[in-house]
Amino acid sequence: MRIILLGPPGAGKGTQAARLVERLGIPQLSTGDMLRAAVAAGTPVGLKAKAIMDRGDLVSDEVVLGIVADRIEEADAQKGFILDGFPRTVAQAEGLDKMLAGKGLKLDAVIEFKVDHEALVDRIVKRAKETEARGEAVRKDDNPDVFKTRLEAYKAQTAPLSSYYASKGDLKTVDGMKAIDEVTEAIKGILGR
């Protein structure tokens, strides 16, 4: 299965993606994780992306499309994948369409997490506290100021993907304000497994 999880930062995409990985046995492809790994490793992509990510803006379509194109060629992605945080612009969605069409593949579902944007800042603050309590490093962009920029980037550049996929008939929605288990059940209902 090839699935896209669409929704603003803090909507719960990562949490649900982790559950889908267990249930479906396909990898989660998070462009945020891939970019953070590139930053940590100091690769040319990481060096380009770091300042952009720290301020909460979007990395260029060209860079992101490049890392996704490489990643979906890997062996573990051949059975399918869960895209988390990608695509984030219409240009990325079009690029993905081309990539998949070139391989004779199709998307199975685009699942949009509907959330109250006002509640997201609180979620992010909570996520940062929980991460700290586990003794792990808190993401630099998980603070209220940068978060506002990330949310603005979502509204301006990613929200249009909802109608992009709706017009293709691929879009399904879940209520991301519900409890984690309820969202999981809703996704099971959509995917039929």
Q: Which stretch binds ligand AMP (CB under 6 A): 56-64, 118-126, 170-178, 185-193?
A: 56-64
Among 7, 8, 9, 12, binds ligand AMP (CB under 6 A): 9
- Point out the catalytic residue in the list 55, 139, 140, 172: 139
114 is catalytic: no
Amino acid at 91: A
Q: Does 2 bind ligand AMP (CB under 6 A)?
A: no
Q: Please, what's the b/e burial string for 138-166 (b: 16 or more CB within 10 A of its CB; e: otherwise)?
A: ebebbeeebbeebbebbeebbeebbebbe
Q: What are phi and psi of 62, to 5 degrees?
A: -60, -45
Q: Sign of dihedral through CA atoms 24, 83, 8, 124?
A: positive
Shortest Å, Cβ 137 to ligand AMP: 14
23 is catalytic: no
Q: Which of residues 31-50 bind ligand AMP (CB under 6 A)?
A: 31-32, 35
**Number of Cβ atoms within 10 Å of the Cβ of 88:** 20
- Point out the catalytic residue in the list 2, 36, 123, 150: 150
DSSP 171: E
C-alpha distance from residue 41 to each of 38, 50, 136, 139, 140 (Å): 5, 11, 18, 16, 16
Q: Which of residues 63-102 bind ligand AMP (CB under 6 A)?
A: 64, 85-86, 88, 92
- Residue number of the CB closest to ligand AMP reads 32
Question: In the complex, which residues of this chain contact ligand AMP (CB under 6 A)?
Answer: 9, 31-32, 35, 52-53, 56-59, 64, 85-86, 88, 92, 141, 150
Residues designated as active site: 13, 88, 127, 139, 150
